[in-house]
Chain A
Amino acid sequence: MTRRYIIWIGLVSLTAGIVLNTSLETRQQQDRLAEINREIKIEQERTRVLVAEWHSLKTPERLEALARRHLQGYDTIKPMQLANLADVPDRLPEAAPPVAVATAAPVAPIAEVAETAAPAPRPAAARQVAAITTPRARPATRPDTRPAARLAPVAAAAPAAEKQDDLARLIAQSEAPAARPAAPAAARADDGIRTIIERQQPHNGVVFASTGSAE
């Protein structure tokens, strides 16, 4: 009888102890949660302040003033420094390896115009652009016996370009219709130009390219 009572009392105390412990722990966790929430909020507010500061530091007005002061010998891009792929006169000779023809050659002269006014050697510029345009499986795999296909990336064509914006469309307009089949590659080449142009823009209205006078 007495032992039974003791067992019961023991069990009840144990349960009570566990419940108490759990509830204390819960409260602690809640406090921690509240603390973390508070910290998150403070951090968020700090972030807001930093974002606001960052955006007031990179207003076009300020960037322009800084560029004028520190980038002497550079000037904003002139319209004539942009070119259509179609207007590019030089192409690598037929004998060149197909990869080079397919990826690099067409875009290289533009790299010279838009990116480096310094007369970089053709292969260097070509490699640079090839890196930007991320060549995937493309005309390189085509048979070498079809010159039209090899020149395809230069000769942009309509269908895919319609999804691009003005640049691609304008390129497409001014192109020979003979090269239509190679549209996707052309669109990628167009991306290449865009990449170059975007690299020239510190995102905020001030477009700089070397005028060449500094060199």
Chain B
Amino acid sequence: MTYIEPQLPLDIPLTLAPRQGRPALNRSAPHALITCAQGRLVALGSVLTLGFLIVALRLVDATLLQPAVEEIAAPVGPGVEQPLRADILDRNGEVLATSLPTQSLFADPAKLIDPVATARGLAEALPDIKYEELLDKLSSARRFVWLKRNLTPDEVYRVNALGFPGLEFQRDSTRVYPAGATTVHLLGFTDVDGNGLGGIERGMQSRLIDGAAPLNLSVDLRLQHIMARELQKAVTDYRAIGGTGIIMDAFTGEVLSAVSLPDFQPQAAGTAGDEARFNRFAMGSYELGSVMKMITTAAGLESGRMTLDSFYDASQPLRYGRFTINDFHAEKRWLSVAEIFTYSSNIGAARMALDMGPAFERQFFCRLGLCDTLRMELAEKGDSISPAEWKELTAVTISYGHGLSVTPLHFVRAAAATVTGHLVTPTFLRRENVRVPLGPQVVSARTADLMRRVMRANVVVGSGGKAEAPGYLVGGKTGTAEKTTGRRYSTNANFSSFMGAFPMNNPRYMVFVMLDEPQGNASTHGYRTGGWTAAPVVGRVISQMGPLYAMPPQSMEDPQVREALSIDIKTRMQRRETY
């Protein structure tokens, strides 16, 4: 490198550094150029150094300081995934409802090359969709059309094998109910977009879409099956329109089984008829008939105006206004309260209601939760249709179960209170096991004790004999309500029911069965009453449930059992019957 400065024509102003406003260099300062260049080099050097320093610092920060977790923890797989709807389990962990990931097929018609050929190919691969329907969708102007939701793996394979462009899959999920129709009224079902429709699926929607831990119900699938099987048998045998059955833990209020017939397969919900879709245990409000005498009798005993040995005149029909109240099995004599209950005398119950007075009757019935809407975890809420004014006539009809409509769940809860003394809050969610009844005491221990005795007597000698399950000390009350058709009560159409409890010396389980319009047959000698149609169902359910729950049988001969359940039923004919 040679020093070139002397070759520069000194009279020409230097233009190599076109900085404005600088005084031109003069020939007297040749070192100024070098100084200037050095200054620029330093400046450039520091800028570059600074730049690299920043990069280096950022590198240290990025590699050593920043925790690089996001990328690793990020969800894998295509698309944003929604958590699957939570499973529903029974009290023993059996799966009642679960969600399975599936693929759903959609198309972007704009991307199709040949809609006609695509539609034809798809119609062949998916035989359950019509060609016309497919062509219609594929020729539409929209950019997104669902072709089919929730394909089976086999169908996915066949569609992929077609290889048409414009057809795409999206992750979806489908709801599966392993027990099918057996649990359908309880659980409800979901629509194709995973919204709960009816039952627990709707009532607990927000809890289920969290995709959190499975939901444990109080229901026992084994009991649900036993109840469904026995109820279905009765509905078939007696050619009933339908029926409902409930098993409830009288201590905790947990519903162990709730069946409504007719039922339907959850995946065929769209095509099920209204009768099948109707939830009889939670939504249907019924005038339940004579089973209500349980509440009337408990009310009478609580009122202090009568004991089981008080007598009422049932010798002739009771006229009240334009009504005449008759007995189904008329004894045509004075009956004690115990007899009125055991033989289910309407006249006697009416006289008891008049004796205790409408105000007390109303107060007692409402205290047992029969006047309020029953809110549970189901979407269906049970309405009580109680009279606006509880007059004498109302009190009389309600005493034997007409004029007050409640859901079966309402009634089971109130009935449990009459035998345990405590009003539980019924629930479909699992609770911890307890040894004493929960809930506030609404019936005195004395009355509950007497109720247990008369209920047992009703099965031993009264109308509920067919509910007996040897060894399990079943007690209960039969009911045969006349259905209203239009504005009249029909004598041909009945709701026949039985409210059972066992073991009666310390009732733990309530079993209720009701049949809608059963017809008598040869085995019932033509009777369609609760004692002939519903009571045997309760008996069969209990005799299967007892061994399942490892409950050892008890004998009426056992002195302790005798002491707990014996009863003297007095009659006016100087006859004392001890059971």
Segment 17-35 of A: residues with Cβ below 8 Å from B: 19, 30, 33-34
Residue-wise interface mask of A (71-90) relative to B, using a CB-CB cutoff of 8 A (1 in contact, 0 not) = 00000111111111000000
- The reply to whether A167 and B547 contact each other, CB–CB distance below 8 Å, is no
B128 at interface (Cβ–Cβ under 8 A)?
no
CB distance from A14 to the nearest CB of B (A): 16
- The reply to whether B222 and A205 contact each other, CB–CB distance below 8 Å, is yes
CB distance from B33 to the nearest CB of A (A): 27
B100 at interface (Cβ–Cβ under 8 A)?
yes
Residue-wise interface mask of B (420-444) relative to A, using a CB-CB cutoff of 8 A (1 in contact, 0 not) = 0000000000000101000000000
The residue on A at minimum CB distance from B543 is: A79
- The reply to whether A207 and B178 contact each other, CB–CB distance below 8 Å, is no
- The reply to whether A37 and B547 contact each other, CB–CB distance below 8 Å, is no
The residue on B at minimum CB distance from A87 is: B552
- The reply to whether B471 and A79 contact each other, CB–CB distance below 8 Å, is yes
Contacts of B39 in A (CB 8 A): none
Contacts of A197 in B (CB 8 A): 550
- The reply to whether A82 and B551 contact each other, CB–CB distance below 8 Å, is yes
A51-B95, A79-B470, A81-B547 are known contacts. Are A60 and B553 too (CB-CB below 8 A)? no
Of the residues A56, A59, A82, contact of B553 by C-beta under 8 Å: A82
- The reply to whether A59 and B225 contact each other, CB–CB distance below 8 Å, is yes
CB distance from B395 to the nearest CB of A (A): 39
Rounded to whole angstroms, the CA-CA distance of A38 and B78 in the bound complex is: 10
A side interface size, CB within 8 A: 45
Contacts of B470 in A (CB 8 A): 79-80
Rounded to whole angstroms, the CA-CA distance of A55 and B95 in the bound complex is: 6
A162 at interface (Cβ–Cβ under 8 A)?
yes
Tally A-B pairs: CB < 8 A: 108
A52-B100, A55-B95, A59-B221 are known contacts. Are A194 and B547 too (CB-CB below 8 A)? no
Contacts of A169 in B (CB 8 A): 435
Contacts of B94 in A (CB 8 A): 55, 58, 204
Residue-wise interface mask of A (41-64) relative to B, using a CB-CB cutoff of 8 A (1 in contact, 0 not) = 100010011011001101111001
The majority secondary structure among interface residues of chain A is helix
The residue on A at minimum CB distance from B71 is: A30
B-contacting 9-mer, from A91-99, A129-137, A170-178: A170-178
Rounded to whole angstroms, the CA-CA distance of A30 and B71 in the bound complex is: 8
Contacts of A167 in B (CB 8 A): 550-552
B472 at interface (Cβ–Cβ under 8 A)?
yes
The residue on A at minimum CB distance from B555 is: A87
The residue on B at minimum CB distance from A171 is: B552
A76-B544, A79-B547 are known contacts. Are A84 and B225 too (CB-CB below 8 A)? no
Contacts of A58 in B (CB 8 A): 94
Contacts of B543 in A (CB 8 A): 78-79
Of the residues A19, A38, A55, contact of B178 by C-beta under 8 Å: A55
Rounded to whole angstroms, the CA-CA distance of A194 and B100 in the bound complex is: 36
Rounded to whole angstroms, the CA-CA distance of A64 and B230 in the bound complex is: 13
A41-B77, A52-B176 are known contacts. Are A166 and B221 too (CB-CB below 8 A)? no
- The reply to whether B225 and A205 contact each other, CB–CB distance below 8 Å, is yes
The residue on A at minimum CB distance from B183 is: A59
Of the residues A38, A60, A77, A171, contact of B547 by C-beta under 8 Å: A77
CB distance from B349 to the nearest CB of A (A): 33
B16 at interface (Cβ–Cβ under 8 A)?
no
B179 at interface (Cβ–Cβ under 8 A)?
yes
- The reply to whether B560 and A60 contact each other, CB–CB distance below 8 Å, is no
Contacts of B551 in A (CB 8 A): 82, 166-167, 170
Contacts of B1 in A (CB 8 A): none
A211 at interface (Cβ–Cβ under 8 A)?
no
A52-B100, A79-B472 are known contacts. Are A205 and B547 too (CB-CB below 8 A)? no
B469 at interface (Cβ–Cβ under 8 A)?
yes
Of the residues B98, B225, B508, contact of A166 by C-beta under 8 Å: B508
A165 at interface (Cβ–Cβ under 8 A)?
yes
The residue on A at minimum CB distance from B182 is: A61
CB distance from B63 to the nearest CB of A (A): 8
Segment 199-215 of A: residues with Cβ below 8 Å from B: 201, 203-205, 207
A52-B178, A173-B560, A174-B560 are known contacts. Are A205 and B221 too (CB-CB below 8 A)? yes
Contacts of B548 in A (CB 8 A): 201, 205, 207
- The reply to whether A60 and B222 contact each other, CB–CB distance below 8 Å, is yes
Of the residues A38, A45, A81, A193, contact of B76 by C-beta under 8 Å: A38
A51-B98, A166-B508 are known contacts. Are A83 and B222 too (CB-CB below 8 A)? no
Contacts of B221 in A (CB 8 A): 59-60, 204-205
- The reply to whether A162 and B471 contact each other, CB–CB distance below 8 Å, is no
- The reply to whether A56 and B72 contact each other, CB–CB distance below 8 Å, is no
Q: Assuming A79-B546, A82-B551, what are 13 further A-B pairs, CB within 8 angstroms? A: A41-B77, A52-B100, A59-B178, A76-B544, A77-B547, A84-B552, A166-B549, A197-B550, A201-B548, A204-B94, A204-B221, A204-B222, A205-B548
Q: List 12 A-B contacts (CB under 8 A).
A: A30-B71, A41-B76, A56-B178, A59-B180, A61-B229, A76-B547, A80-B470, A166-B508, A166-B550, A169-B435, A204-B94, A207-B547
Closest 7 CB pairs of A and B: A205-B222, A60-B225, A56-B178, A79-B471, A55-B95, A77-B547, A55-B178
Which B residues are closer than 8 A to A by beta carbons?
A: 63, 71-72, 76-77, 84, 92, 94-95, 98-101, 176, 178-180, 182, 221-223, 225-226, 229, 433, 435, 469-472, 508, 543-544, 546-554, 558, 560
